[in-house]
Amino acid sequence: MALVPLREVADEDRQRAERYVGRVLNFHRVVAHSPEALEGFLALSNALRKMQLDRRLRELAYLRAAQVNHCQY
Protein backbone atom coordinates (compact mmCIF):
# COMPACT_ATOMS: atom_id res chain seq x y z
CA MET A 1 0.00 0.00 0.00
CA ALA A 2 1.29 3.45 -0.92
CA LEU A 3 2.20 5.79 1.93
CA VAL A 4 0.97 8.73 -0.13
CA PRO A 5 -2.46 8.36 -1.70
CA LEU A 6 -2.43 8.07 -5.47
CA ARG A 7 -4.37 10.73 -7.40
CA GLU A 8 -5.92 10.49 -10.79
CA VAL A 9 -3.92 12.21 -13.48
CA ALA A 10 -5.72 14.76 -15.68
CA ASP A 11 -6.42 13.59 -19.23
CA GLU A 12 -3.89 15.98 -20.81
CA ASP A 13 -1.16 14.90 -18.38
CA ARG A 14 -2.10 11.24 -18.85
CA GLN A 15 -1.62 11.57 -22.61
CA ARG A 16 1.73 13.31 -22.13
CA ALA A 17 2.92 10.64 -19.68
CA GLU A 18 1.91 7.88 -22.08
CA ARG A 19 3.67 9.64 -24.96
CA TYR A 20 6.89 10.37 -23.00
CA VAL A 21 7.21 7.31 -20.75
CA GLY A 22 4.89 4.80 -22.38
CA ARG A 23 2.41 4.60 -19.51
CA VAL A 24 1.24 6.42 -16.38
CA LEU A 25 3.43 5.43 -13.45
CA ASN A 26 2.43 5.48 -9.78
CA PHE A 27 5.06 8.23 -9.42
CA HIS A 28 2.92 10.38 -11.75
CA ARG A 29 -0.10 9.68 -9.56
CA VAL A 30 1.78 10.79 -6.44
CA VAL A 31 3.15 13.93 -8.06
CA ALA A 32 -0.37 14.72 -9.33
CA HIS A 33 -1.03 16.17 -5.85
CA SER A 34 0.78 19.21 -7.28
CA PRO A 35 -0.21 19.80 -10.90
CA GLU A 36 2.69 22.24 -11.30
CA ALA A 37 5.20 19.62 -10.12
CA LEU A 38 3.70 17.00 -12.46
CA GLU A 39 3.89 19.43 -15.37
CA GLY A 40 7.55 20.14 -14.55
CA PHE A 41 8.39 16.44 -14.24
CA LEU A 42 6.72 15.63 -17.56
CA ALA A 43 8.63 18.47 -19.24
CA LEU A 44 11.88 17.12 -17.78
CA SER A 45 11.01 13.59 -18.94
CA ASN A 46 10.40 14.89 -22.45
CA ALA A 47 13.69 16.83 -22.50
CA LEU A 48 15.65 13.80 -21.30
CA ARG A 49 13.93 11.61 -23.86
CA LYS A 50 15.14 13.90 -26.64
CA MET A 51 18.73 13.78 -25.40
CA GLN A 52 21.22 12.89 -28.11
CA LEU A 53 23.39 10.67 -25.91
CA ASP A 54 23.85 6.98 -26.54
CA ARG A 55 21.57 4.97 -24.22
CA ARG A 56 24.51 3.39 -22.39
CA LEU A 57 26.21 6.76 -21.85
CA ARG A 58 22.92 8.28 -20.68
CA GLU A 59 22.48 5.49 -18.10
CA LEU A 60 26.05 6.02 -16.96
CA ALA A 61 25.29 9.73 -16.47
CA TYR A 62 22.22 8.84 -14.37
CA LEU A 63 24.26 6.44 -12.24
CA ARG A 64 27.05 8.98 -11.74
CA ALA A 65 24.58 11.71 -10.75
CA ALA A 66 23.01 9.32 -8.23
CA GLN A 67 26.45 8.47 -6.84
CA VAL A 68 27.52 12.13 -6.53
CA ASN A 69 24.26 12.92 -4.72
CA HIS A 70 24.58 9.86 -2.43
CA CYS A 71 21.32 8.39 -3.71
CA GLN A 72 20.52 4.73 -3.33
CA TYR A 73 19.92 3.46 -6.85
Q: Would you kindly state where each structural domain of the chain is located, as residue ranges? A: 11-68
Mean pLDDT taken over the chain? 88
pTM of the model: 0.65
Convert the chain into a string of H (helix), E (strand) and C (coil): CCCCCCCCCCHHHHHHHHHHCCCCCHHHHHHCCCHHHHHHHHHHHHHHHCCCCCHHHHHHHHHHHHHHCCCCC
What is the arithmetic mean of pLDDT over 20-42?
91
User: What was the pLDDT predicted at 2?
Assistant: 63
Residue 60's pLDDT band, with cuts at 50, 70 and 90, is very high
Rounded mean pLDDT, 18-41: 91
Tell me the CB-side half-sphere exposure of residue 27, using CA atoms within 13 A.
Answer: 8
